[in-house]
Amino acid sequence: MKLSSKILFSLLGFGILYSMYRALSGEGGSGLYDFVDAMAYTSMVVSVSSVVVLCFNLKNYKKHLDTFILFLLGLPLTIIAVMGFTQDMYLDRDPDLTPKYRLHFSQEQLKKESMIIKVQIDSLVAAKNRIDQKRFSHI
């Protein structure tokens, strides 16, 4: 067995063991999500490593059939994972809240007053928590 194949199968084996560890150590019902997440990372590492091995051995690619098979096996999950990560990044970005019409006040004033409202809401929540804590402290 070639050294590149040993490395790739070792990466795959460690990835599966890591996925099992993440599945068993998850808290609050997150085991399956953690398992799939770790398998996606493993798939990406194995796919990229396979491409690197295949690129360095273009002349004798027939000897690296197992590397090509590992690449093909890891490719679907890698594509799904990358699409999911980019979608998460797209959904986690800050929304564009700039109005599409002319305002009677400046953007600076809007940010300043929004911060004042945020502080007031936080203070109201803190006061309510203090009152609830005093009310139920004797229990």
Taking only the tens place, the pLDDT of each residue in 91-139 is: 888 777 777 777 777 878 888 998 999 999 999 999 988 887 777 766 6
Amino acid, single-letter form, for residue 108: E
In percent, the amount of the chain with pLDDT more than 90 equals 13
**pLDDT score, position 123:** 92
Q: What is the residue type of 114?
A: S
Q: In whole angstroms, give the CA distance from residue 10 to residue 35.
A: 18
Q: What is the pTM of this model?
A: 0.61
Quote the pLDDT of residue 6. Answer: 86
- H helices of 29-95, in order, are 31-56, 65-91
Which amino acid, one-letter code, is at 138? Answer: H
